[in-house]
Structure 1
Amino acid sequence: MKKHRIPPFAIVGAALLVALPTNGAFAEEAPAPPDAVQTAPENLPTDRMIVKYAAPLGDAQKQEILGTAAEQADVPEAEDTTELKTTADGADVVELTDAVSPDDAADLAQELEQDPAVAYAEPDQLVFTAQIPGMDDQAQEQLGSAAAAAYDADAPYMWALNSLGAPRAWDTATGRGMTIGVVDTGFANHPDLDLNVIGGWDFVSSPSLSNDGNGRDSDARDPGTHSVYGQCWAGSPASKSIWHGTHVAGTAAARRDAYGVVGIAPDATLLNARALGACGTGYVSDMADSVTWLAGAPVAGVPAARKRADVINMSLSMYGSCPVTLQNAINTAWNRGIPVAVAAGNNGQPAINYAPGNCYNVVTVGAVTSDRTRASYSNHGAAVDIYAPGHHILSAGNTGTKGPVAPNSRYDYGTSMASPHVAGTLALMKQKNPSFSSNQLKDLLLTSGDPFASGKTLNTHDALYITSAFKDVYWGRTFYNEIAWMHSSGISKGWASGNTRVYKPVQSITRDQMAAFLYRMAGSPAYTPPKVSPFADVATGQGFYKEMAWMHAKGISTGWVDGRTRLYKPGQAISRDQMAAFLYRMAGKPAYSAPSTSPFADVSTRQGFYKEMAWMHGTGISKGWDDGTYRPGAAVSRDVMAAFLQRFDQKF
């Protein structure tokens, strides 16, 4: 679904609504947030501009362009600037001598873009989290007051898990081999996260916002988002730490263990891009560089991560159009096959008015409550791709009101909490088929969603169900379910094809392959094959020898006698009458009287394997074709074989 841009000016508010600790009793109802949502001011000044030049220029030329634009826009604060850094797409981030109003920043960007040497210019706006309105000092002191060590398995209190069908989805995929990149406040140390974190970088470039005493560095841990009055913007209130990134990461990929909470993709790893500091505040340019780095693209002055992300989550929301700098970073990830899940925002307004939810190449996520209704605070409308649990969500946190103290489990509310449910689901889907493009994954995610009054709600189980493990088997094709069962049951993993797998559904099954399938369907029982092959045409060292010898030992197939030798004919395609015989014997040759009139128009009661083919009809394993035929001599294709085996498995 394409998003439509709105007239530019963006003030950013991350999508966290409330942070509330759990307590020793694990009350049925955590305190609910008020309907009215306090968002950060939508007219904050900025002291930075992003300028992308059409071609490389010298410092003097850049300063001349900036000075001329400052004079034309009547923004003297831009007449003397300091270049702070270069974004991943080559734009300069410059600091003004003082902060300017949103109108002045927009005028300056417009004047800069009049110069043919400038490709684009835009304000480098602040990104920040929204806190619950009216939270008094006592409530603030209660944040993170209960340590997770006091409670062990918190999964029973995580209503979203069962609502999404996540435990059933784990039978198919758990996120193993996938990495979820999180652009947020960083992670505090936490037993549910630490072993899953494979790296990170601190992208907060403003020392005044970093709360760690410097700008960018290699320590991406969250030192806390606490602030003093006026630290984050003029008049900003003092605030306590909210551990937003820790909560988001836990929802996406907390480990399955005896401690705390569990994430949607519990075996996925986490890559930590810290872009927000005090007050949960940072700059758009830092957010864009975080996305670029997570996508495995180079960022000046930052070493590459040892593994790029497979999915990216951004639990952020800002009023206005999608910044070009951020859109370029998102495009980099999306075009590399890395889907980007973003929060729709908590303003109770049309999501089209808020970025990054109105950016292109994202999955925009709104929030629903446990009764499957849209949360009152969730942004909504056509720009929301899908809704996910965001209300009363239990995940990882910390007890500290300033710096980190002890890990805990805590409740939060907002589209910030909804987005990582989608990111975790995308990681599960991508594990099943890593070759799928971002667009394919998004389409399957939306197709699998459950309809409700405001659009579609996430269904993690169904998203896994329609995401094929095989590149050449798509949801909706004949025997899709049966082929998916073959994979999930371990009977057939297909063939490797590059970085994906193929099933070759219309290829005929050979007799040696059939032996392997039946042996696996029997549970791969302990069996030592004889040192001398029971078949003259099967060597003891060839592929599937053990399985073919097992077929002989079990009496499922004793092959053919040719003179004094016994042959198995391993490379011969198995026919439909032979398949009937194999399955009948596999079932233990159950007592069965074949009817005196054949159920199939092309099968005589006197021909070989008539009893077995009639038994196939009687059990429902195969009713033949609509024209009443069985076609006994036809070769069995791999998709039809999957159907036969699944039906057999259901009955025996």
Structure 2
Amino acid sequence: MRRPLPSSVIPALCLALVLGPLPLASATEAEPPVAGTAASQPETVELPEVTDRLIVKYKTPLSDADEERVVEDSAREAGVPEGTDVREVRTTTDGAAVVELESETSDEQVEKLARKIADDPAVDYAEPDQLVSVAAASDAHYSSQWAHPATKVSTAWNSATGAGVTIGVVDTGFASHPDLDPQVAGGFDFVSASNLSNDGNGRDADPRDPGTYSSVDQCYQGAAASTSNWHGTHVAGTAAAARNSVGTVGVAPDAKLLNARALGACGLGYISDIADAVTWLAGAPVAGAPAPARPADVINLSLSFPGGCGTTFQRAIDTAYHRGVPVVVAAGNSGVEALHAAPGNCYNVITTGASTSSGQRASYSNHGWVVDIYAPGHSIISSGNSGTKAPATANSMWLSGTSMASPHVAGTVALMRQKNPNLTPAQLKSALLSTATSPAGVPVANTATALAAVPAATPFQDVPTTHAFHQEISWMASAGISGGWATADGAKEYRPRLAVDRDVMAAFLYRLAGSPQFTPPATSPFADITPQTTFYKEMAWMADAGISGGWTTPDGGKEYRPHAEVDRDVMAAFLYRLAGSPQFTPPATSPFADITPQTTFYREMAWMADAGISGGWSTATGKEYRPHVAVDRGVMAAFLHRLASQL
């Protein structure tokens, strides 16, 4: 059994008032806050200033005995007796050891021990594995979702609703709710400490919230008994509650939710568990946790703890950032400089403070230059539950805090990602911050203007705006020449590096020609295709239009060879014929060093250069056409786009 914390420790979580079920308040009809109504402030969160765990990363693998020696020798040198008898609890995704001390000790002492361990040449880094809590919230008395009209959410829905986007939520888990159940796309329970789990075990595949209730001394010595607060349920609903006839509606109502439970009883969880949850949501492997079917497109962390952003937490955030997943975090509710609270002071995050209905900074919100943006966080109604311990009846409840502000921003980012999934976290953050409004002195997120600032994405998710042929490939879609491949999540892929087969080439050329009226013959002109073959009409049209005669077989028949790749010399012939075989006298001196006037299709390849359709490759000896290289779909888009400008 886990050893209790000292009785001097103050409880880390304040309770939320859970109200009865409410009808859906539409974004366009939501009433403003009642004039003169005072909302209660979130209670100040005071975390236990002790821990019984360390995180130690070694530069190279050591034996268990050597790892214990490093910690215990360092503990004796540092004068921290709690570290002279340790055991390894588990290994983090980053490969670091989570080490349990003999008993709890102060954060100051554990930090001292960590510094001494880090001095050992075998150690990469060492840091306390502190306890973290939700950015606590309290109740208020508003009767509608004032935040939606304040940030123009319904206006943004004209452009995006979150369809095809997944929001990852690291929190206390979700209770069953009609606003959330259709949205949830999987999850995992990362709570490893049995005294915090409230579900009878450690990590498992069930991320649902069993309740954050606790008995006296359960979470730490001196902790009062508490009832469940349904924090994660509220946060998830703010971001993506479904549009239906009950409850509330989220900022991104058509987005999916990926549930990473990392906070348990008392709303507490370890940094090492939260870091694994972030890593997993970003799609990176975490031992023992099966990969999600689809990683998150944005991650929300409505939690906070005092102190710096340690290596474990920062590396998890960096993993998400470098995988293209923005991380939105709460600034914290202590009314102090946000520089002094993590993860708001981590790098590569969008740190969010709480604003009131008048656009002012909420008095409890952490503030300062570390805060990137503010969002509605005061008196926010969202999904809840009536259970004081285990889940009972789904309902709606009001909470206040930066925990409530953060999912407003995460939902906005989800809309931005739907409009353009190719933008980097830095680009998304820039668009979000540059469009914020300041009605009362602080920059408040405006969902509609942020979305409007996002440039329209390429129609294909695998062709970013930086692709050499982005314009031409996008034209292929807008011109109806290529629809690409539909992916499992409803997006489209163009696959620009895939070679073009002859059957697909026929379809492209037929569409480029305007899909002319043509009745394909009942008897195929080619022995290797039939009227039932995919793209039969287009291939038969190729023969009828004189663009392709196929290959003559030994028995005098013809073959089209639909699945053969199209080489660049043959492509030149196809395009020249599609253009009407224009009058052209090929030059006596080849424009390309690797073909001569005697090369098959020389006229057509020289015409490609003369017409500005292909410039070939520049080499030390001049230009090369590379006639026998297969044409890929990206280059072919460029060829067709250039030809289309001349037809």
> 8 Å contact 1:224–1:402 — kept in the other structure?
yes
Distance 2:123 2:113 in 1: 12
What are the residue-to-residue correspondences of 1:277-292 with 2, within 5 Å?
277-292=264-279
Distance 1:493 1:309 in 2: 32
The change in CA–CA distance for 1:458 and 1:118 in structure 2 (over 3 A counts) is: same
The change in CA–CA distance for 1:189 and 1:32 in structure 2 (over 3 A counts) is: farther
The change in CA–CA distance for 1:108 and 1:168 in structure 2 (over 3 A counts) is: same
- Compute the RMSD of aligned alpha carbons: 3.9
Distance 2:518 2:492 in 1: 36
In the TM superposition, residue 32 of structure 1 has moved relative to its aligned partner by 4.4
Equivalent of 2:351, from 358, 364, 367? 364
Which one-letter code corresponds to 1:21 in the other structure?
L
What are the residue-to-residue correspondences of 1:163-242 with 2, within 5 Å?
163-242=150-229
> 8 Å contact 2:39–2:379 — kept in the other structure?
no
Equivalent of 1:318, from 284, 300, 305? 305
In the TM superposition, residue 422 of structure 1 has moved relative to its aligned partner by 0.7
Which one-letter code corresponds to 1:405 in the other structure?
A
Distance 1:340 1:24 in 2: 31
Equivalent of 1:117, from 105, 119, 122? 122
- SS in structure 1 of the partner of residue 456 of structure 2: coil
Which one-letter code corresponds to 1:220 in the other structure?
P
Which one-letter code corresponds to 2:401 in the other structure?
G
1:44 matched to 2:46? The reply is no
Distance 2:493 2:443 in 1: 30
- SS in structure 2 of the partner of residue 128 of structure 1: strand
Counterpart position of 2:424: 437
Which one-letter code corresponds to 1:334 in the other structure?
Y
> 8 Å contact 1:313–1:420 — kept in the other structure?
yes
Counterpart position of 1:128: 133
In the TM superposition, residue 491 of structure 1 has moved relative to its aligned partner by 9.8
Distance 2:273 2:406 in 1: 20
In the TM superposition, residue 167 of structure 1 has moved relative to its aligned partner by 1.5
Q: Which whole-Å deviations, capped at 9, do the CAs of 1:149-204 have from their partners, x for residues lacking one?
A: xxxxx9x8211112221122112111111111100000001111111111111110
Counterpart position of 2:447: 460
Which one-letter code corresponds to 1:101 in the other structure?
S
Distance 1:246 1:13 in 2: 21
In the TM superposition, residue 41 of structure 1 has moved relative to its aligned partner by 2.6
What are the residue-to-residue correspondences of 1:217-616 with 2, within 5 Å?
217-471=204-458
Equivalent of 1:68, from 58, 69, 73? 73
Distance 1:380 1:118 in 2: 35
In the TM superposition, residue 73 of structure 1 has moved relative to its aligned partner by 1.6
In the TM superposition, residue 374 of structure 1 has moved relative to its aligned partner by 1.1
In the TM superposition, residue 62 of structure 1 has moved relative to its aligned partner by 0.4
Distance 2:167 2:137 in 1: 28
Counterpart position of 2:64: 59
The change in CA–CA distance for 1:280 and 1:63 in structure 2 (over 3 A counts) is: same
In the TM superposition, residue 74 of structure 1 has moved relative to its aligned partner by 1.6
Instruction: Tell me the matched-pair count.
Output: 489
Q: Which whole-Å deviations, capped at 9, do the CAs of 1:34-92 have from their partners, x for residues lacking one?
A: 45x53333552101110011111000100110110110122222111121111111111
In structure 2, runs of 5+ residues without a counterpart are 1-8, 26-30, 466-470, 495-508, 521-535, 542-577, 581-640
Q: Which whole-Å deviations, capped at 9, do the CAs of 1:302-361 have from their partners, x for residues lacking one?
A: 211111111100001111100110100000001101000000011111111111000000
Which one-letter code corresponds to 2:388 in the other structure?
T
Which one-letter code corresponds to 2:378 in the other structure?
H
Which one-letter code corresponds to 1:80 in the other structure?
D
The change in CA–CA distance for 1:332 and 1:132 in structure 2 (over 3 A counts) is: closer
- SS in structure 1 of the partner of residue 224 of structure 2: coil
- SS in structure 1 of the partner of residue 127 of structure 2: strand
> 8 Å contact 2:14–2:43 — kept in the other structure?
no
In the TM superposition, residue 23 of structure 1 has moved relative to its aligned partner by 6.7
Distance 2:265 2:278 in 1: 20
In the TM superposition, residue 230 of structure 1 has moved relative to its aligned partner by 1.6
Which one-letter code corresponds to 2:435 in the other structure?
S
Which one-letter code corresponds to 1:274 in the other structure?
R
Distance 2:122 2:10 in 1: 29
Counterpart position of 2:19: 21
- SS in structure 2 of the partner of residue 428 of structure 1: helix
Distance 2:513 2:39 in 1: 59
The change in CA–CA distance for 1:14 and 1:233 in structure 2 (over 3 A counts) is: closer
Q: How many percent identity over aligned positions?
A: 51
The change in CA–CA distance for 1:388 and 1:295 in structure 2 (over 3 A counts) is: same
> 8 Å contact 1:204–1:215 — kept in the other structure?
yes
Which one-letter code corresponds to 1:108 in the other structure?
L
Distance 1:297 1:74 in 2: 38
Distance 1:241 1:71 in 2: 41
Distance 2:52 2:420 in 1: 45
The change in CA–CA distance for 1:343 and 1:494 in structure 2 (over 3 A counts) is: farther
Q: Relative to structure 2, which stretch is displaced further, 11-20 or 85-94?
A: 11-20
Which one-letter code corresponds to 2:260 in the other structure?
A
Q: Which whole-Å deviations, capped at 9, do the CAs of 1:517-540 have from their partners, x for residues lacking one?
A: xxxxxxxxxxx99989xxxxxxx9
Which one-letter code corresponds to 1:123 in the other structure?
P
In the TM superposition, residue 291 of structure 1 has moved relative to its aligned partner by 0.2
Which one-letter code corresponds to 1:197 in the other structure?
V
The change in CA–CA distance for 1:310 and 1:15 in structure 2 (over 3 A counts) is: farther
Counterpart position of 2:544: none
In the TM superposition, residue 451 of structure 1 has moved relative to its aligned partner by 2.9
Distance 1:284 1:29 in 2: 37
1:84 matched to 2:89? The reply is yes
The change in CA–CA distance for 1:17 and 1:441 in structure 2 (over 3 A counts) is: farther
- SS in structure 1 of the partner of residue 205 of structure 2: coil
Equivalent of 2:103, from 81, 98, 102? 98
Q: Which whole-Å deviations, capped at 9, do the CAs of 1:273-295 have from their partners, x for residues lacking one?
A: 00000110110111000000111
Question: TM-score, length-normalised on structure 2?
Answer: 0.68
In structure 1, runs of 5+ residues without a counterpart are 1-10, 144-153, 478-482, 503-509, 517-527, 533-539, 546-569, 573-636, 642-652
Which one-letter code corresponds to 1:432 in the other structure?
K
The change in CA–CA distance for 1:322 and 1:500 in structure 2 (over 3 A counts) is: farther
- SS in structure 2 of the partner of residue 21 of structure 1: coil
Distance 1:98 1:459 in 2: 48
Which one-letter code corresponds to 1:119 in the other structure?
D
Which one-letter code corresponds to 1:211 in the other structure?
N
> 8 Å contact 1:109–1:122 — kept in the other structure?
yes
The change in CA–CA distance for 1:445 and 1:132 in structure 2 (over 3 A counts) is: closer
Q: Relative to structure 2, which stretch is displaced further, 460-469 or 311-320?
A: 460-469
The change in CA–CA distance for 1:445 and 1:13 in structure 2 (over 3 A counts) is: farther
Distance 1:451 1:492 in 2: 43
> 8 Å contact 2:19–2:398 — kept in the other structure?
yes
Distance 2:119 2:428 in 1: 40
Distance 1:44 1:302 in 2: 30
